[in-house]
Amino acid sequence: MKRIACFVVAVACVISAMAEDGSRLWLRYDKVEKAVVTGPECIAAEELRNFYPGERVNLVVDATMAADAYRIEGTTITARDERGLMYGAYALLRGETGYSAPQWSLRILNHWDNLDGSIERGYAGNSIFWEGRNDTLIKEYARANASIGINGTVLNNVNASPKMLSASYLQQVKEIADILRPYGIRVYLSVNFASPMALGGLATADPLDKKVAKWWRAKAKEIYKLIPDFGGFLVKANSEGQPGPGDYHRTHAEGANMLADAVKPYGGIIMWRSFVYGANHKGEDRVKQAVSEFVNDDGKFRDNVILQSKNGPLDFQPREPYAPIFDNMKRTPQMAELQITQEYLGQSRHLVYLAPMWQEFFGFVKPDRLVGIAGVANIGLDKNWCGHHFSQANWYAFGRLAWNPNMTSEEIAKEWLKATFGQWTMGNGQWGMYNEQLTMGNGQPENATNHCPLSIVHSSLLSLMLRSREACVDYMMPLGLHHIFKFDHHYGPEPDAFKADYPLEWCPVYYHQADSAGIGFNRSHSGTNATSQYAEPYRSLYDDLRTCPEQYLLWFHHVPWTYRMSNGRTLWENLQAHYDHGVAEVEDFIRIWQDAKPYIDEQRWQETNDRLLHQLDNAREWRHTCLTYFRTFAEPS
């Protein structure tokens, strides 16, 4: 025991002297320049020569392999082309063997970056693309994406400026595309539907106007001349004030198809977002509006149009049921849109690992029903890229799930922890790794006395990550509560918020419906009948108060405060218990992180610790504000 204690002290002393800013993400390899690599001269060869600790790697091209797939046998990587070899090289560096192929050909980041350098819902500094562009940084961005299989990026905000399609900006897009291309990443652009009016001097943007269609064909030709492998357009139309075909009494299919025809000759696609609500749906439950808006267009879109829908029917809440549009659009290709940036989950101030939320979604919407996946990026100019060191895990998890949605949250978290916090320096200057044989899933290490102390730390950090999303739900909006955030910035609680000059669907009181009789939004057949949009068995399951899963209870039902739940306690008692549990979880996360201090470099430990303490303050604020407000209904004086 004395030798172990001395070792721990030695490790602590060395690590505390080191400082890391997190800029290397999960690619914290040190150059060894040891391996002899045979085969094509490509990114894979460069990475392996620099970082693979073995003696030799063989790169083999096999044209019969599936696109992007790779096979690793010993130290031989086989793939269809250089891109597949690159994915195989990063897999080998992770320690993988065997055959692997991606679930989807479209694995895309959506950047909500504005041309002035700001980022809508960005919590990690300004844009890496549009403020004092640093091409070396963009290359590192490309490398990070390639290492986890991401192969596309939308460079600008869905609330797009028409200037994006001007000649000066397209030249910049070309230059960015040239940097990303060697890493297998295609560029896409969000476009403003009224661009022909803003840039082309036309009097209309009516998609059935021949001059409008001609303008878009010419613009597509201009883009593809600059960027032959340009991916296509992402479109937010007739949503939250953005222009669209509805301005001319045209359908979404008519608008999307006009754009699809413009990019079709070049192999481009149109990703048309279904996040549309408001204008044409006055009085309709907001969570029903996407289906109402699009269902009549099912089967009417061109074959290069993909409907892109958020995972839930409202707006990236900490927990939502899956969006029923995935049940209703049966003849239209669809892709899911996940939010990596934590707009409603503490932004980059809270430690919330999102893989469990995305796995929950895939439990309802099977991956083979989709043709691709998009993630709203959480990347900015902060040194650590993501604002919070643990928010890097969400970028990483999106890429890994985009490649293989059957990976578990635990498997991904283990990978990320190993790559991000998995090495330590011993007193002799040699590098070591934690013992991977340790079972870490439940936070209780097996035979802990037989393992390196860092293994025990990793066990606790894994437990923290896997519990963090549920903790966030508990201290913010448990049991199906939703959208009770403060206006506009969506940070902090405001359950009493109501503004007469705002649409009801923006007001928290509209969503929780608390009154003396109970709490929750009645979306059953006796309410807004949102349950009718779901396929069976979920339609009946959600519609019945007795069978509705308790995690969605207040999403679908207005429930009496005295309603007895499965544990025998009342709804009000359970609501209080969830808020208490959420706060207690964050308190335990801080304890875990404090215990990890000897094994984490000083800078990342301190910055994460500061954010955890802030998270605890926020969790307590959520509990106090929400329970104080709801108590006025549940326990009237």
Q: Are residues 142 and 199 in the same domain?
A: yes
> Is residue 501 included in any domain, yes or no?
yes
Q: Are residues 417 and 462 in the same domain?
A: yes
pTM across the whole model: 0.94
Specify whether the CB–CB gap between 346 and 352 falls below 8 A: yes
Residue closest to 354 by CA, chosen among 372, 377, 330: 377
Tell me the mean pLDDT in the region 570-577: 98
Question: Known catalytic residues?
Answer: 240, 315, 343
- Whether residue 436 has pLDDT greater than 60: no
> Is residue 551 included in any domain, yes or no?
no
Distant-in-sequence, close-in-space partners of 2: CB < 8 Å, separation ≥ 6:
none
Other CB atoms within a 10 A radius of the CB of residue 503 amount to 12
Q: Are residues 368 and 486 in the same domain?
A: no
Domain boundary among 376, 407, 438: 407
Q: For 30-164, where are the E strands, in sequence order?
A: 36-38, 56-61, 70-73, 76-79, 98-100, 106-110, 152-154
Q: What does the alpha-carbon distance between residue 397 and residue 99 come to, in Å, rounded to a whole number?
A: 20
Q: Are residues 251 and 319 in the same domain?
A: yes
Q: What does the alpha-carbon distance between residue 600 and residue 458 come to, in Å, rounded to a whole number?
A: 11
Q: Are residues 209 and 65 in the same domain?
A: no
**114-127 tens-digit pLDDT:** 999 999 999 999 99
pLDDT band at 453 (very low <50, low <70, confident <90, very high): low
Q: What does the alpha-carbon distance between residue 149 and residue 396 come to, in Å, rounded to a whole number?
A: 10
Q: Are residues 207 and 76 in the same domain?
A: no
> Is residue 183 included in any domain, yes or no?
yes
Domain boundary among 368, 385, 407: 407
**CATH code (residue 564):** 3.90.1330.10
**300-334 tens-digit pLDDT:** 999 999 999 999 999 999 999 999 999 999 999 99
> Is residue 534 included in any domain, yes or no?
no
Other CB atoms within a 10 A radius of the CB of residue 536 amount to 8
**259-288 tens-digit pLDDT:** 999 999 999 999 999 999 987 898 999 999
At residue 554, the 3 state secondary structure works out as: helix
Residue 608: per-residue pLDDT? 98
**Which residue shows structure tokens 């990587």?**
77
Residue 12: per-residue pLDDT? 43
Residue 425: per-residue pLDDT? 34
Residue 423: per-residue pLDDT? 58
- Whether residue 438 has pLDDT greater than 70: no
Q: Are residues 180 and 221 in the same domain?
A: yes
Q: Are residues 136 and 89 in the same domain?
A: no
Q: Are residues 224 and 235 in the same domain?
A: yes
> Is residue 636 included in any domain, yes or no?
yes
> Is residue 156 included in any domain, yes or no?
yes
pLDDT band at 15 (very low <50, low <70, confident <90, very high): very low
Distant-in-sequence, close-in-space partners of 531: CB < 8 Å, separation ≥ 6:
523, 524, 525, 539, 542, 543, 556
> Is residue 546 included in any domain, yes or no?
no
- Whether residue 637 has pLDDT greater than 90: no
At residue 328, the 3 state secondary structure works out as: helix
Residue 431: per-residue pLDDT? 34
Residue 439: per-residue pLDDT? 38
Q: Are residues 326 and 417 in the same domain?
A: no
**CATH code (residue 163):** 3.20.20.80
Q: Are residues 378 and 317 in the same domain?
A: yes
> Is residue 262 included in any domain, yes or no?
yes
Q: Which domain holds residue 496?
A: 1-22+410-521+558-637
Residue 499: per-residue pLDDT? 84
Q: How many domains does the chain have?
A: 3
Q: What does the alpha-carbon distance between residue 92 and residue 44 come to, in Å, rounded to a whole number?
A: 10
Least confident piece of the model among 94-98, 228-232, 243-247, 434-438? 434-438
**CATH code (residue 58):** 3.30.379.10
- Whether residue 3 has pLDDT greater than 60: no
Q: Are residues 123 and 69 in the same domain?
A: no
Domain boundary among 407, 433, 468: 407
